[in-house]
Amino acid sequence: MQQIIPHHLSHVAIPMGRLVQLSRQLVPSLLILSLMGCDSSAGVSEMDGVLADAGLTSFDGDLRPDVGSPVTGDGGFDLGVDLGMDQPNMDIRQAEFYHRDQIQRIEITIDPADRQRMFAALPERIYVPASFRWNEIQIDDVGVRFKGNSSSNPDAWWKRSLLVKFGEFVDDQRFFGLRRVALDNAIQFGSVFSERLITDILRNEGVPCSRANYAEVTINGVYDGLFVNVERLDKSFLERVFGNRDGVLYKNHVGGPGSDFSVLDNPTDYAQSFEPKTHKDEADFSELYDLSVLLRDTPDDVLEARLESRFELESFIKLMAVMVFSGAFDQYTGQAPHNFYIYNDPETGRLSYLPWDLDVGFADNAFGRLPVIDGWNASWPLFVTPRPLIERILSNEALRRRYLRHAERILERYFRPEALGMQLDRLYQQAEDSLGRDPYPSRRVTVQSDTDYPGIVRSLKAFMVRRYQTARMQLDSPLSQPPASATQRREPMPGEPGPDDPSDLRVEGIDESGVTLSWTDNSEREGLTIVQRCDGVDCETFTNLIGIEPDRPPRATDQQVQMGQVYRYRVYAAWPSPEGPQGSAPSNVVEARP
C-alpha cells in the first residue's frame, strides 16, 4: 500500500548499428565501454515483516550518529533562524524524510521566467531561485537546477532529475541539517527500483552509502512525477556517516587519467579526474597518488595489512559482491571507473570508497551488447582491466578468500530470487499509484523492450533468477585466475584517416561551466564521438575524456578543468566491430586556457 506522510504527522543499447540511447557524457564510461562487446524508523515496520518472511533483516539505524546544522524554514518560521531543535530531533526529522516505507510529497515553486531560463541554458545546468515545501516546512530562496547528464540533453523527452541546494542564495541555510536534496529521475536500467534495492542491501551490510526513498514532486502546482529521493554525498552526509567533515571528499564523475588508481607522474595529475568537493584549498591529491603507489608496489605478503591501514577494505570487498550480484556495472567495480567519491577520514587515516548513481542495475546485455551476467564472473569479479585495486585484492590469496566468504554470504542472504523478488514487488506496490499518475512515458530509456512497469518488474526478476543461478555455479567452482574476457576488453582509440573523420573542431566558449567544444560530424556509422584531451602546451599524450552518442549534437563541455591550465583537445568517431572497437582518425587539435 502506498504511504504518504500526512501533514498532521509532521510535528515530530548497443545494437551493432546503434550503440546508445542513454545520455551520458562520460569517457571512459559505460558508453565507451559499451563499444567493447539504506534507512528505517525505530520499531517494527511492515518492511521488517516482509524481510523476516524472506529470511532477511532490515537495517535499523545509521552507520554513525548524525551531526547537522540548524534547521531553517518558512511557513511560520524566519529563514536562517535556529528553530531551537536539538540534534536528536533533527536526526528524527531527517530519518522521517528518508523513511524507506513512505513516499514523500515535495512542492517546488519556481518563477515561470526562471524555469524557462533553466531550459534555455541546457546543456549547462544553472541554479534558479525557488521555494521548497515538505509537510509544514517551507523554505524560500533555495537554488534548484537540473541534475545529471541525462537531464542536460536539450532534446530529452524524459523526466529530468533535480537538485535542490538550500544555501545557494542564503548562506548556511539548511533543511534539518541537509544542505541538498537530490531527486533522481530513475530512467536508467534499474528504473525506480535499482537504487532502492542496492542501497538497502549496502546499508544493511554497514557499507556507507546514501539513504533513499520515493518522492512525489510537484512544480508550480503540477505533478512532475515520482522521483527517487537520494541522499546527496556532501558535508551533511559526511557529518552523519563519519561524524566529521574535516577531510577532503573527492568526486570522480567522468573517469579519466588515474580514475582506476593507476600511478600517474605527479599527485596533481589526479586533478584531471577527481574533483575536491570539500576543503578545496587543502586538496593536493597526494592520498590518491599514495594509494595508487601502494597498490603498485606493495609485496603480496604484506598487502592486506598495509592496504587495510590506509583504505576501508572491508566495506569495499562487500561492495564488490553487491555490485556484481546486482549487475550495477556503471561503477569502478564494473565497466567504468567513475560515479564514486573518495573520502579521506582524518579520524581514522583511511580512505573510504563511496558509491554514487546506483540506478544502473538488474539488466543484462546492456545497450544490447554488454554481457553483464556472462561477462562478470562472481568468483573473480574483474570485468575489465586495468583495475589495480580489484586486481590486487583478487590476486592476493588471503584477500580473495575474504571476498569469497562475503560473496557466498551476501548471495544467499540478499540475492535469492524469491526473497529479492518479494522486495521488488513491495517497492512496486508502494510506488504503483504514483507511477500510474506520472506524466512521463512508463518505460526505461535504456531498455527499449520494457514498455511499461509490469514489464520492467518482469525483466528485473528474470535478471535476478539468471544472475543467482550463474553466480551460484561460479562460487561453487571458483576461478583460480582472472577471466580472459576481462583482459580482452579495451577502450577505443583513433585509427587511420577515412571518410568518418570529424572535422572543424573549435572552442565555442570558456566560462565557469568549463570548456565547450563543437565540431562537424562526418560519420554515418559511429556509435560514439569521443573527445580526447591532453594537458599542457604542445602535449601529445591524448586520453579519452567524453563520449557523445550519435543522437546528440556535435558539442561537448569539459567540466573538469582548472583555471590557468592549458588543455589541448581532439575528437574522433568510434564504432563496434567483431574485432573490437574501431576508430576514425582524429580531428584537428584545438587549445584552450580557462
Element of type H or E holding 499: none
Distance, in Å, from the CA atom of 309 to the CA atom of 331, rounded to the nearest integer, reads 24
Same domain, yes or no, for 151 and 77?
A: yes
Residues 44 and 31 in one domain: no
Given this model, what pLDDT does residue 487 score?
A: 56
pLDDT at 303: 98
SS3 assignment, position 251: strand
Q: How far apart are CA 292 and CA 285, in angstroms?
A: 11
Q: Which CATH number does the domain housing residue 546 bear?
A: 2.60.40.10
Q: Quick one: pLDDT at residue 53?
A: 34
The answer to whether residue 275 sits within a structural domain is: no
CA distances from 144 to 128, 147, 245, 292, 359 (A): 5, 9, 24, 37, 21
Rounded to whole angstroms, how far apart are CA atoms 212 and 178?
A: 14
* Spatial contact of 335 and 384, defined as CB atoms under 8 Å apart: yes
Residues 101 and 215 in one domain: yes
Domain identity same for 204 and 63? yes
Is the distance from CB of 576 to CB of 272 less than 8 angstroms? Answer: no
Do 149 and 24 have their domain in common? no
Q: Which domain holds residue 561?
A: 13-35+492-594
- Where a domain ends, among 214, 241, 268? 241
Q: Which of 198, 221, 241 is the last residue of a domain?
A: 241
- Structural domain contains residue 119: yes
298: amino acid identity, one letter: T
For residue 485, being part of any structural domain is answered with: no
d(CA 320, CA 209): 14
CA distance 549 to 35: 11
Q: What is the pLDDT of residue 55?
A: 35
Residues 6+ apart with CB under 8 A from 128: 110, 111, 114, 115, 117, 118, 143, 144, 145
Q: Do 18 and 62 reside in the same domain of the chain?
A: no
- Give φ, ψ of 235 to 5 degrees: -60, -35
Residues 91, 231, single domain; the answer is yes
> If you search the block for the grid coordinates 541525462, which residue do you land on?
150
* Same-domain status, 52 and 155: yes
Same domain assignment for residues 46 and 29:
no
Domain final residue, candidates 216, 241, 266: 241
**Residue 153 · residue 159 · CB < 8 Å:** no
Q: What is the structure's pLDDT at 581?
A: 74
Q: Sign (positive/negative) of CA torsion 427, 429, 431, 432?
A: positive
Indicate whether 60 belongs to any domain.
yes
Co-location of 26 and 154 in the same domain: no
51 and 24, same domain (yes or no): no
Residue 149 domain-assigned? yes
Give per-10-residue mean pLDDT for the chain (594 aa). 31 28 33 40 36 36 32 31 60 94 97 97 94 95 91 85 97 95 86 94 97 98 97 97 97 90 96 95 97 98 98 98 96 91 98 94 78 94 94 98 98 98 97 94 72 91 97 97 73 89 95 90 89 88 83 86 87 79 92 93
Using CB atoms within 10 A of its CB, is residue 589 exposed (0-12), middle (13-18) or buried (19+)?
A: middle
What's the domain count of the chain? 2
364 within some domain: no
| Long-range CB contact pairs, 297-303, < 8 A, 24+ | 298/392, 300/395, 300/396, 303/392, 303/396, 303/399
Query: Rounded to whole angstroms, how far apart are CA atoms 36 and 28?
Result: 11
Letter for the amino acid at 92? I
Residue 83 domain flag:
yes
| 515 shares a domain with 565 | yes
pLDDT of residue 24: 32
Q: Does some domain include residue 553?
A: yes
Q: What is the pLDDT of residue 85?
A: 61
Q: What is the pTM of this model?
A: 0.75
